[in-house]
Amino acid sequence: MKNSHDQADASLDGQLKPTRRRLLGWLVAGINLVVAGVVVGPVLGYVASPLRRKAKSEWVPVLDEAELPVGQTREASFVLRIRDGFAETDQKYSVFLHRTPDRVMAFDPACTHLGCRVKWMGDKDRYFCPCHGGVFNADGKVVSGPPPKPLEEYPVKVEDGRIWIQKKV
């Protein structure tokens, strides 16, 4: 036996009318979806931001060609203007430049083990890491110690009497 409430829910063609409870259920589900989107959206944006950001690189003049004779290694410093949001700052960088008869190489001075700054020892023709005893040859390759890979090498070009390196910013 149907009561009057069940009869009120049924329409003429047999479909159920939305009840107050069903309407409130849909409303709560919608609010939960909005809250989840507000929380999850920024988290996904943060996690995916490196994928969206394109690494920009630029060629930077670091030294006159005449200042680096063949067979020598020396450190050179340069400044790049970095834009971070609305702020612009001058960031100082340095590289080791090594010249062979065939080409010029530029190495990041950070050890590939834990990032300590390597030192060039010209009398031994080696880069030494003072933190854990890593040793690299003049071509930046690991000779001994814990570093897992060679020193990071930057692309280099010699143009108009200047040595240029390509630095990612």
Give the CATH H-level superfamily of domain 57-168.
Answer: Rieske [2Fe-2S] iron-sulphur domain (2.102.10.10)
pLDDT tens per residue, the chain (169 residues)? 555 555 544 544 555 666 888 888 899 999 999 999 898 888 888 888 777 766 677 889 999 999 999 999 999 998 888 877 778 888 899 999 999 999 999 999 999 999 999 999 989 999 999 999 999 999 999 999 899 999 999 999 999 899 999 987 6
What is the enclosing helix (H) or strand (E) of 7?
A: helix 4-9
**Buried-state track 158-168, b at ≥16 Cβ within 10 A, e below 16:** eeeebbbbebe
